[in-house]
Amino acid sequence: MINVAAIRMQQFGVQFYQASLTASDIDKLVRFEVLNYGESGQPPVRGGKKKTPSKVNWDLLERRIASSEKAYQRQIIRRKIDELVQYYEQCREARDLPSIAGAVIISCDEKLSFEPANAGATVGRLKVPEREGILRAIDGQHRLLALHADIENIKDDDFTVPAIIFDRLPEDHVVQMFVTINAKHTRLNASHLVSLSGRQLYRDDALAAAHDVVRALNDREDSPLHGEIKLLGVGRGRVAQAPLAQELKKLFAGDAFGGPRKSADFRDDSKKFFVNYMKQVSVVFGAAWNGRKYSIKSANALRAFMRVAPDVVRKLDQEHVDRTDFRAIGRVIAPWGRRIGDLRFETEGAWKRVGTTVESLTRELKLALEYPEGAGV
């Protein structure tokens, strides 16, 4: 038996539990299964293997997914798992958003026992038989499969998943609940959501400015990231929006660009600055930017470039030039080409060898700006 913190709940005479499961609990106890149709059945995973690299070991993951005529889950969508794993990694690196904030819904095959904290309490310890595959997902199977696929990166973290657990829910009730949850989907256009976020949904000038910059980097044809940013997880781009938006939001929310008034004024020019800034980055690190075996467009690298942008702006202010001047930006960041170079971003080279983080790369970029000739480090 494993003991997990839980709340005993009841609705219309049905008792269930809201519990906290660790990543290792999920990895061991939950079984994954999809419906098949006998001999003419379909494979458990939908979507052919992509040419683009995936962080998911699909050979191992597909072996974990069972299929039977008695199951009720649909085929697993390969793209959805890939995108969720990418999102989990972004959350793990940024540490400012939970990756599985909403509860997954699970049914247990065997009897559960609950020990209240005291007589009559609804809070207590839930005892779950410690048997592999004893739990099965009603809602949230893709999220849990993505967690399983990314378990090597998550297992050492203090990671818990909120779960609604039913005790031996009848099969017809399980299927009815699954169909009710998944039968209808309301989809909003991603661009519409980006436009609303930080404005009509809730007023946040810093987030609105951050989204404006991200949209400019993705939409403007002269941007080196044109069409490459996956806005709200939608689109063909391979660069995630969330890490860039969160990094920019922090810059715009503070006084990074020279005090409250200057920072506020700079928002109007920020789209032009960041497009010109990233264009010059793509020039300084031309081989890495255009090469296939480099990590310069990874979340860590792009966040570091965003984080050091205020230092670039300060250098421009010291030269008394327009902050958006394309050539002036190029002069300021030129030392990066001499002191850092393309090989620093080679995925299987220095990038991997030194275990690059946002913080470590930011330090290197700042040092190269402060000491362009390499003196006094």
Of 182, 200, 221, the one marking the end of a domain is 182
Residues 107 and 255 in one domain: no
Please tell me whether residues 260 and 356 are part of one structural domain: yes
| Number of other residues whose CB lies within 10 A of the CB of residue 249 | 21
Residues 171, 202: one domain?
no
Asked if 125 and 49 sit in the same domain, the reply is yes
Q: What is the pLDDT of residue 293?
A: 94
Q: Mark whether 258 and 331 lie in a shared domain.
A: yes
* pLDDT, block means (10 residues), the chain with 377 residues: 91 89 87 58 56 63 64 70 85 82 88 91 92 85 85 83 87 71 54 49 72 90 90 68 85 77 76 95 95 92 94 93 94 95 94 92 94 65
Tell me the CA distances in angstroms from 248 to 150, 181, 205, 242, 271, one per residue in order: 27, 36, 12, 10, 11
> If 0-12 CB within 10 Å is exposed, 13-18 middle and 19+ buried, where does residue 69 land?
exposed
Q: What does the alpha-carbon distance between residue 255 and residue 229 come to, in Å, rounded to a whole number?
A: 27
Evaluate the CA torsion angle 268, 233, 278, 244 in order and state its sign.
positive
Given 182, 209, 242, the domain boundary residue is: 182
pLDDT of residue 320: 93
Domain containing 199: what range? 190-370
For residue 109, give the 3-state DSSP assignment: coil
Ramachandran region, residue 133 (left: φ > 0; alpha: ψ -120 to 50; beta: rest): left
**For residue 190, what pLDDT is reported?**
47
The predicted pLDDT at position 233 comes to 56
- Output the six-digit token pair for 326: 């394309």
Contact 252, 263 (CB under 8 A): yes
Asked if the structure places residue 217 within a domain, the reply is yes
Do residues 209 and 256 make contact, with C-beta atoms less than 8 angstroms apart?
Answer: no
Nearest residue to 176 (alpha-carbon basis) of 139, 133, 135, 136: 139
Clarify whether residues 175 and 286 are in a common domain.
no
Residues 165 and 288 in one domain: no
In this structure, are residues 1 and 128 in contact, taking their beta carbons and an 8 Å threshold? yes
**Which tens digits make up the pLDDT trace of 286-307?**
999 999 999 999 989 999 999 9
In this prediction, residue 276 carries a pLDDT of 96
Domain count, the chain: 2
Residue 171 lies in a domain: yes
Q: What is the pLDDT of residue 90?
A: 83
21 and 160 both lie in a single domain: yes
Domain identity same for 158 and 307: no
User: For residues 162 and 140, what is the distance between their CA atoms, to the nearest angstrom?
Assistant: 11
Do 198 and 169 share a domain, yes or no? no
Residues 23 and 156 in one domain: yes
Secondary structure (DSSP) of 230-280: EBTTBSS-SEEHHHHHHHHHHHHHTTTTTHHHHHHHHHHHHHHHHHHHHHH
Instruction: Determine contact, residues 82/51, Cβ cutoff 8 Å.
Output: no
Same domain membership, residue 361 and residue 345: yes
Among 153, 182, 211, the domain boundary falls at 182
Query: How far, in Å, CA of 65 to CA of 317, rounded?
Result: 58
At residue 52, the 3 state secondary structure works out as: coil
**Residue 375 domain-assigned (yes or no):** no
| Phi, psi for residue 139 in degrees, rounded to 5 | -140, 130
Q: What pLDDT digit, counting tens, does each position of 47-58 carry?
A: 655 555 566 666
